[in-house]
Amino acid sequence: MTASPRTFPHRPNMDGTFDAICPDCLKTIATEDTEALLGPSEQNHACNAIEVESLWRGKPFYIRQ
Ligand SMILES: [Zn+2]
């Protein structure tokens, strides 16, 4: 059984750059001039969502940073 690849939402910034956001740990993992440049950073992202999730468990959303 293979894990499906993570899909990273992209967020356009006021200065014309793009952020890639990890859907699991919610970190901004990269900021680049174009969306296409975000790919390598997405593939290299070492996600620690399990650790983050354990820290967040039971806490309200608004303190999730
Ligand atoms: Zn992550």
Cα–Cα distance, 22 to 2 (Å, whole number): 19
Q: Is residue 44 pLDDT above 90, yes or no?
A: yes
Residue 49 CA to ligand 1 center (angstroms) comes to: 6
Cα–Cα distance, 2 to 19 (Å, whole number): 27
Residue 16 CA to ligand 1 center (angstroms) comes to: 23
Q: Is residue 1 pLDDT above 60, yes or no?
A: no
The token pair at 30 is 């990269």
Residue 46 CA to ligand 1 center (angstroms) comes to: 6
Residue 44 CA to ligand 1 center (angstroms) comes to: 10
Residue 20 CA to ligand 1 center (angstroms) comes to: 10
Query: Residue 10 pairs with which residues in a beta bridge?
Result: 20
pLDDT one-digit tens code per residue, 46-63: 888 766 666 666 665 565
pLDDT one-digit tens code per residue, 17-33: 999 999 988 999 999 99
The pTM of the whole model exceeds 0.75: no
- Position 64 scores a pLDDT of 56
| pLDDT confidence band for 6 (50 / 70 / 90) | confident
| Residues ≥6 apart with Cβ < 8 Å to 8 | 20, 21, 22, 23, 29, 38, 42, 45
